[in-house]
Amino acid sequence: MTYCVGLRLDQGLVFLSDSRTNAGVDQVSTFRKMVVFERPGDRVLVMMTAGNLAVSQSVRQIVEERISPDGRSIWNAPTMYDAVRLVGDAVREVRSRDAEALTEAGIEFTISIILGGQIEGERTRLFMVYSAGNFIEAHEESPYFQIGESKYGKPVLDRMVQPSSSLDEGAKCALVSMDSTLRSNISVGLPLDLLCYEVDALRVTRFSKIDYRNQYFQMIHSTWGQRLKQVFSEIPDPTWDDNQIAGAALAAGTLGEPVRAILPAALISPNEPEPSRRFQTLAEQDPKATQLL
């Protein structure tokens, strides 16, 4: 499996991918998921892939080498929209060629792609391509895309990423998102590829290959965990008493009873006690302070 994230910010684009692929717990390999199509002064396009590795590599090869009869390719497409259409066409070509054979072998045809960049004369754009070859584009309301094991790293992106975020903030947030994923899923692993593209640069100026020796990523890993624990410890414990924390009582105004299963009649004894109808609040120190329902 893998995890890749792309951010579309006012200052540019951020791309981050891991490099782990596995076909079982004892078949773990390293394959880099990011490829850059660069013609300095004309275009920078970045493609990241997730899914079946054989499918991803076939699509990547077609995109890299294919020149259509009218001379169109990823290297000279006039717009980002034309470029992403070429990527979608490559996905459909591989699908039509391999999907049936994969299905017969019990293997699902899976691929997802993040493609982003800038072509001279156009703004930066970011797309996500699905396994059917169709695609969507990132906008102000949804400034990032994830592919692969996305669920673990999504919360921090939802809370922190804004189009107005700086490239450095975007890179930091992407790395925190990746660290959360690495912490929770062994199918994602180092090394990482991190690329930050500055608007109108039309060349790669910021790139880092990150392994376990990278000091900044180690700082992210340790600091994020420590600060989460610190913030968690600073949040007040839950209370069910209105008088303990004004406006923050856990059950203020909502006290009720749990749903109780019905004891079978055959098991009811004459001295069977009634279920408790009295509940003590979490914040109570006085044993007399109870809430009667």
The answer to whether position 246 is within a domain reads no
The answer to whether position 251 is within a domain reads no
SS3 per-residue string spanning 154-176: HHHHHHHCCCCCCHHHHHHHHHH
The answer to whether position 66 is within a domain reads yes
Tens of pLDDT, residue by residue over 223-264, are: 999 999 999 999 988 876 655 554 566 655 555 678 888 889
The pLDDT value recorded for residue 293 is: 39
Of the candidates 168, 128, 162, the one whose C-alpha atom is nearest the C-alpha of residue 148 is 128
The domain in which residue 54 lies consists of: 3-231
The answer to whether position 244 is within a domain reads no
The alpha carbon dihedral of 210, 183, 163, 172 has a sign of negative
Under 8 Å between Cβ of 117 and 197: yes
The answer to whether position 239 is within a domain reads no
Contacts (Cβ under 8 Å, ≥6 apart) of 185 = 1, 3, 149, 152
Is pLDDT above 90 for 181?
yes
The pLDDT value recorded for residue 131 is: 97
Tens of pLDDT, residue by residue over 18-76, are: 999 875 667 788 999 999 999 999 999 999 999 999 999 999 999 999 999 999 999 99
Q: What is the CATH number of the domain that holds 119?
A: 3.60.20.10
- Mean pLDDT taken over the chain: 90
Domain total of the chain = 1
pTM: 0.86
The answer to whether position 201 is within a domain reads yes
The answer to whether position 127 is within a domain reads yes
